Amino acid sequence: MEITITKGAVADSLHIQRSDGTLVSTTFPHKGPIPHDAVHFFVESELGMQDGFWGLVATGSHPEEVGPMAKAAGHPSAARPGLPQAGIVSAIQAERIVECFEADLWGPGCDPQTFRETVSAGCEQSLVPAIPIDDEAIERVRRRLKEFRQHWMGLPLGHSCRLEWADG
């Protein structure tokens, strides 16, 4: 699946061509130094999370449907306590891990053990198990995010980055 993220002044756009040829597009507001969905890409691809956000999009979900789908599948919150359905667990785990890597991008980062403890706390709060992440995996994701950030920050408005999601 080919993912194209185009840098905008107020919002960025996302254009996806799935392996089956279907096309999907959406826009999303700026959040942090790089697009949130790009963080998902690097986290999920490096950690082999085929059922996270990008896996759901690859198998037919529209990016805008993933959040409501998680809510409908029982994603817990203060207003909705309870265990999430099995089909959405990986997407919730990915979201918790992405949040931790985004915090890294916004600040000085932390040591790998503290990173894992933060991921575990987020997963526990969401009633899903934390996945094991070794030091090397954390460093690989951090390195890829740093490289992408440097590229993204230098990209003029209206220009795009292409990412290739390996289905399955």
Q: What is the pLDDT of residues 118-165, one digit of tens each?
A: 999 999 988 899 999 999 999 999 999 999 999 999 999 999 999 999
Q: Which two tokens stand for residue 140?
A: 């690989």
The reported pLDDT for the residue numbered 77 is: 57
Using alpha carbons, list the distances in angstroms from residue 34 to 22, 54, 159.
26, 17, 14
Contact 163, 8 (CB under 8 A): no
Using alpha carbons, list the distances in angstroms from residue 158 to 8, 9, 70.
6, 8, 31
Contact 130, 119 (CB under 8 A): yes
Using alpha carbons, list the distances in angstroms from residue 14 to 73, 108, 119, 122.
25, 28, 27, 27
How many structural domains does the chain have?
Answer: 1
Rg (CA), the chain: 16
CA 30 and chain centroid, separation: 14
pLDDT above 70 for 35: yes
pLDDT above 90 for 3: yes
Q: Give the single-character DSSP code of 60.
A: T
pLDDT per position as a tens digit, 37-88: 999 999 999 999 999 999 999 999 999 988 777 777 666 554 555 778 888 8
Of the listed ranges 3-12, 68-77, 84-93, the least confidently predicted one is 68-77
The reported pLDDT for the residue numbered 84 is: 81
Q: How many residues belong to the chain?
A: 168
Provide the residue range defining the domain that includes 95: 2-164
Scanning 19-62, the segments in alpha helix (DSSP H) are 36-46, 53-58
CB atoms within 10 A of CB 22: 10
Mean pLDDT of 106-128: 93
Q: Whole-angstrom Cα distance, residue 1 to residue 124?
A: 32
Given the structure tokens 């529209």, which residue do they identify?
Answer: 62
